[in-house]
Each structure stands twice: as structure tokens, then as C-alpha cells.
């Protein structure tokens, strides 16, 4: 059932794209900023799994929204520190924006259902 969620697949695809990018960070940042980025993507997908299982999805969806915003900041910091290229940042921004739109739509759907 989880595979039917488009947002889950988009996050999973984003993780698959992002991990090789993070693995190219310099060693000094791979285990600091890179690890935070990787953990935040895993937290985000965890929130989607939790939201899918919960009857009242609002808390898990709010948590996912916070995690997505934190992830966006970490990726922007990576760009500003020149750990990712402007092109890679653009791709990441496009992917996170798409996830954000899906998350927003899912949140709106369940906020009206309450």
C-alpha cells in the first residue's frame, strides 16, 4: 500500500539521487553536514510511513513538513558552502518543491476531513 503513495516514491527517488551527491562531499563535511542531510531524508520518509499508518495524520504530516524545511536549509547551506553545484542545487530544489506540493495537498486533504 505504501508503494501506491506518490509522495513516498518521490521521496525515495530523491534519496536515491541525493546519496551519491552527498558521498562526494569532502571528508570534513561528509560526516557532519552530509550525515545530517542523509538522516533528515530518512526522517522524512519515516514521517510519511507514520502518517500513512496513523488514523489522525495531521501530527505526522506537520512533522514531515518541518523535516522537509530543515532539509531544504541543509541543501541550501551545502550550495552556499560549494559542496554541491548550482545545477545540483537546482535539481534538489525542484525535487523538494515537488515533495512539498504533494505533502501540502495531502495535509489539506486530511485537515478538511477532521
Q: Please report where in the chains the cell 495537498 appears, as a residue.
A: 105
The domain spanning residue 42 has which CATH number?
A: 1.20.1440.60
Residues 19, 37: Cα–Cα separation, whole Å? 9
Structural domain total, the chain:
1
pLDDT band at 5 (very low <50, low <70, confident <90, very high): confident
Residues 40, 107: Cα–Cα separation, whole Å? 20
What is the domain extent for residue 33? 2-113
Give start and end residues of each alpha helix (H) in 5-113. 6-22, 27-30, 33-53, 58-80, 86-113
Task: Please name which of 50, 76, 78, 75 lies closest in space to residue 64, comparing C-alpha atoms.
Answer: 50
Q: What is the pLDDT of residues 29-59, one digit of tens each?
A: 998 999 999 999 999 999 999 888 888 888 8
More confident residue, 5 or 91: 91
Amino acid at each position: 500500500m505504501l508503494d501506491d503513495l506518490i509522495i513516498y516514491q518521490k521521496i525515495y527517488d530523491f534519496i536515491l539521487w541525493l546519496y551519491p551527491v552527498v558521498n562526494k562531499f569532502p571528508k570534513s563535511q561528509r560526516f557532519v553536514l552530509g550525515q545530517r542531510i542523509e538522516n533528515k531524508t530518512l526522517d522524512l520518509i519515516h514521517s510519511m510511513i507514520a502518517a500513512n499508518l496513523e488514523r489522525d495524520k495531521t501530527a505526522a504530516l506537520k512533522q514531515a513538513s518541518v523535516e522537509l524545511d530543515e532539509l531544504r536549509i541543509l541543501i541550501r547551506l551545502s550550495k552556499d558552502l560549494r559542496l554541491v553545484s548550482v545545477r545540483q542545487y537546482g535539481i534538489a530544489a525542484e525535487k523538494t518543491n515537488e515533495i512539498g506540493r504533494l505533502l501540502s495537498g495531502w495535509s489539506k486533504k486530511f485537515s478538511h476531513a477532521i
